[in-house]
Structure 1
């Protein structure tokens, strides 16, 4: 597996993976609110990193560098070390400090981040959102 900065022509594949994973795992949210276009819009302001195995995209992470904010981390198959490899890579390029927000129903992701040394530092709910979030920091 190789983790590296995404090439411009890989952003569409990341956007499709984003939409697929959200629709499959974020079962508490309506699918209409999870579109590939949302990822493409955010990616214009972020650094996107990909995990690849030969020619396959295994996952990606996006970093909003001004705030050392991990905006996205999505993988096709969990439990194979892809998420950890992406998180380790982003941690290294961000000089170690990272924050992120996790929707409260996303207990699997929260457990992963807690295992990786993050801690919950804030909880809230954005206006118009059906579920709250937890801000985590490491």
Structure 2
């Protein structure tokens, strides 16, 4: 017999560089997901800083503030006992990646950089990010 798992997906009204507001909306979505019995909460791409940061992705402050929000999320009692999946930019070996960060009970379980970037229509992800091309795990 299989097990029932409740998954919460979120489409949030995130604003570029509104770190405090974005944090508040992320926490509210986690609260709602837990209230509905979800064990896994999946948020939108680059939800911590907002997708439309454009050339602000080049600024180290953008990355710093994303990590400050991530720290607040990890320390929040709301994120206990639910797997949280958030999107944020991360710099690794001086290369910027569009990543998913998955954590549970104050521990980061996985950081997964995006491998296929959108580069057509209005999307120009190659301008700010590099695709992850290493097929193996790398220790940070």
TM beyond 0.5: no
Give the structure with the higher percent strand: 1
TM-score, normalised via structure 1 length: 0.32
TM-score, normalised via structure 2 length: 0.31
Give the structure with the higher percent helix: 1
Q: Which has the larger radius of gyration?
A: 2
